[in-house]
Amino acid sequence: MSEHSMSRRALLAGAATIPMAAGLGFTKANAAGHAQGPQIPRVNRFGVGDFEVTTMLVGSRTVEEPQTIFGMNVGADEFAAVSAEARIPVDKAQFFFTPTLVNTGAELILFDTGLDGAATTQAVEMAGYSADAVTHVVLTHMHGDHIGGLMTNGAETFANAAYITGQAEFDHWSGTDNEGFANNVKPLAEKMSFLGDGDSVTSGISAKAAFGHTPGHMTYMLDSNDQQLLILADLANHYVWSLAHPDWEVRFDMDKAAAAASRRSVLGMLAADSVPFIGYHMPFPGVGYVETRGDGFHYVPHSYQLLL
Residues at the interface with Zn ion (CB under 5 A): 1, 145, 234
- Assess contact for 135 and 108: CB atoms under 8 A: yes
Q: How far apart are alpha carbons 217 and 195 in whole angstroms?
A: 11
Smallest Cα–Cα separation from 16: which of 67, 66, 57, 47?
A: 57
Nearer to Zn ion, 180 or 296 (CB): 180
Sheet holding 287-293, edge to edge: 200-202, 205-209, 218-224, 227-233, 277-279, 287-293, 296-301
Smallest Cα–Cα separation from 235: which of 143, 147, 302?
A: 143
Q: How far is the CB of 241 from Zn ion (least distance, A)?
A: 15
Nearer to Zn ion, 1 or 58 (CB): 1
Q: How far is the CB of 181 from Zn ion (least distance, A)?
A: 15
Smallest Cα–Cα separation from 217: which of 175, 183, 252, 191?
A: 252
Nearer to Zn ion, 9 or 28 (CB): 9
Q: How far is the CB of 237 from Zn ion (least distance, A)?
A: 7
Up-side HSE of residue 176: CA atoms within 13 Å toward CB? Answer: 14
Nearer to Zn ion, 103 or 235 (CB): 235
Nearer to Zn ion, 223 or 234 (CB): 234
- Nearest to Zn ion by Cβ — which residue? 1
- Assess contact for 238 and 279: CB atoms under 8 A: no
What is the pairing mode between strands 296-301 and 287-293?
antiparallel
Q: How far is the CB of 141 from Zn ion (least distance, A)?
A: 8
Which residues 6+ apart lie within 8 Å of 175 measured at CB?
none
Nearer to Zn ion, 116 or 234 (CB): 234
Q: How far is the CB of 156 from Zn ion (least distance, A)?
A: 21
Q: How far is the CB of 157 from Zn ion (least distance, A)?
A: 18
Nearer to Zn ion, 51 or 239 (CB): 239
Q: How far is the CB of 143 from Zn ion (least distance, A)?
A: 5
- Assess contact for 100 and 45: CB atoms under 8 A: no
Q: How far apart are alpha carbons 188 and 138 in whole angstroms?
A: 13
